[in-house]
């Protein structure tokens, strides 16, 4: 049987702020606008995780959804209801833009997936009008 | 910490409201009615259109962004939304003087209006949502 992909959606909430300490205030405001306001702001992020793999001939599944749910929820537990700039080590050196958050989640979720399945796409919605997709390195 | 590299795809939704009429002057009245149905009614009808624009770029190491959102907003506003919003596409917009403003043609026109205009990124896909149930996508000629 061939390969198939499967997408599951998750939700979490977090704060972020777009700001570079090595830039003057005006430069931060010019580039990042409202996103640079001092105390950050939050989103309800919607995360779509797409996993691909061969369909198991016994179970008929690419992977057990319970396993996927466990892997992703363990990763998101670290991010949920946090201020990404202030509380997360991943964003000490990088701004927690939606782009950077998507690639970080790719790395963390990808390494936890059970054998035989791999990530095909991460789609991270910041709000209903903006999302970022990552398909892995070039 | 090391992290993944490579292209990131960013999609943003925009909106405009417009009237169109599906009517091909080279066809007879009967044929227009048969092919386009209610969409051929003489005075046209309107939709709240949504345009989802997808661009791809490398994430800038300094800003953490793959696309200057203000530049993207500005290009889409100037070249698409301001051009189409609250217009009758057949009567008010030169793009459709000789072209039926179907979803297919609108999505390709929007591609043409945006392609090459957003600095620093590649236009990957334009999706035009006409109603809850109808949408059209165009990814350029190569795909």
Compute the distance between CA of residue B62 and CA of residue A20 in angstroms, rounded to an integer: 8
* Annotation says B3 is catalytic: no
Quickly list H helices, A2-117.
25-32, 65-79, 84-87, 98-110
A60: containing domain: 3-134
* CATH number where A34 lies: 3.30.479.10
Q: Is the full-model pTM beyond 0.90? A: no
CA distance linking residue A40 with residue A18, whole number of Å: 8
Closest by Cβ to B6, choosing from A33, A90, A137: A137
* Count of structural domains within chain B: 1
In angstroms, rounded to a whole number, what is the distance separating the alpha carbons of residues B114 and B121?
11
Q: Is residue B19 part of a domain?
A: yes
* Cross-chain Cβ contact B63/A128 below 8 Å: no
Please report, in tens digits, the pLDDT of each residue of chain B (143 residues total). 567 788 999 999 999 999 999 999 999 999 999 999 989 988 888 889 999 999 999 999 999 999 999 999 999 999 999 999 999 999 999 999 999 999 999 999 999 999 999 999 999 999 999 988 899 999 998 64
pLDDT digits (tens, 9 = 90+) for A73-126: 999 999 999 999 999 999 999 999 999 999 999 999 999 999 989 999 999 999
Structural domain total, chain A: 1
Is A114 in CB contact (< 8 Å) with chain B? no
Chain A touched by B42 (CB under 8 Å): no
Residue of A nearest to B56 (CA): A133
- Cα three-residue angle B87-B51-B109, rounded to 5 degrees: 65
Helix axes A65-79, A98-110, angle to 10 degrees: 130
Distance (Å, whole) CA A106 – CA A34:
27
Q: Strand B45-58 and strand B87-88: pairing?
A: unpaired
In a domain, B119, yes or no: yes
Give a yes or no: residue B143 inside a domain.
no
Residues B70, A33: C-beta atoms closer than 8 Å:
yes
Q: Which positions of A are annotated as active-site residues? A: 35, 81, 126
Q: Is residue B112 part of a domain?
A: yes
Residue B122 in contact with partner chain A when CB distance is under 8 A: no
What residue ranges in B21-133 does DSSP mark as E strands?
45-58, 87-88, 122-129
Asked if B62's CB is within 8 angstroms of A134's CB, the reply is: no
**Do the beta carbons of residue A6 and residue A50 sit within 8 Å?**
yes
CATH classification of the domain holding B60: 3.30.479.10
Least Cα separation, residue A72 to chain B (angstroms): 18
Which residue from A96, A103, A133 is facing B4, i.e. has the nearest CB? A103
Instruction: Look at B4 and A135 and tell me if their CB atoms are within 8 Å.
Output: no
Pair type for strands B7-20 and B87-88? parallel
What residue has token string 């396993």? A67
Mean pLDDT of chain A: 93
d(CA B110, CA B80): 7
Chain-chain contact of A94 with B3 (C-beta, under 8 angstroms) = yes
Clarify whether B39 is annotated catalytic. yes
């Amino acid at each position: 049987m061939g390969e198939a992909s499967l997408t599951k959606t998750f939700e979490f909430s977090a704060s972020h702020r777009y700001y570079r300490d090595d830039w003057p205030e005006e430069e931060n405001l010019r580039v990042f606008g409202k996103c640079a306001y001092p105390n950050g702001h939050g989103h309800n992020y919607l995360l779509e995780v797409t996993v691909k793999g061969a369909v198991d001939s016994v179970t008929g599944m690419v992977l057990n959804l319970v396993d996927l749910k466990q892997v992703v929820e363990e990763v998101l537990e670290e991010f949920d209801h946090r201020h990404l700039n202030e509380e997360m080590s991943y964003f000490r050196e990088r701004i927690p833009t939606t782009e950077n958050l998507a690639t970080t989640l790719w790395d963390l979720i990808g390494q936890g997936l059970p054998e035989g399945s791999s990530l095909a796409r991460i789609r991270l919605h910041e709000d209903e009008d903006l999302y970022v997709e990552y398909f892995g390195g070039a | 910490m090391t992290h993944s590299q490579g292209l990131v795809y960013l999609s943003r939704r925009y909106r405009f409201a417009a009237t169109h009429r599906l009517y091909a002057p080279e066809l007879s009245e009967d044929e227009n009615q048969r092919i386009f149905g209610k969409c051929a009614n003489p005075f046209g009808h309107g939709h709240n259109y949504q345009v989802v624009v997808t661009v791809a770029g490398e994430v800038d190491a300094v800003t953490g962004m793959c696309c200057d959102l203000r530049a993207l907003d500005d290009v889409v506003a100037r070249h698409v939304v301001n051009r189409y919003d609250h217009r009758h596409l057949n009567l008010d917009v030169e793009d459709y003087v000789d072209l039926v403003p179907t979803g297919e043609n609108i999505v390709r026109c929007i591609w043409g209006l945006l392609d090459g205009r957003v600095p620093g990124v590649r236009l990957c896909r334009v999706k035009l949502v006409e109603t809850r149930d109808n949408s059209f996508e165009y990814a350029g000629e190569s795909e």
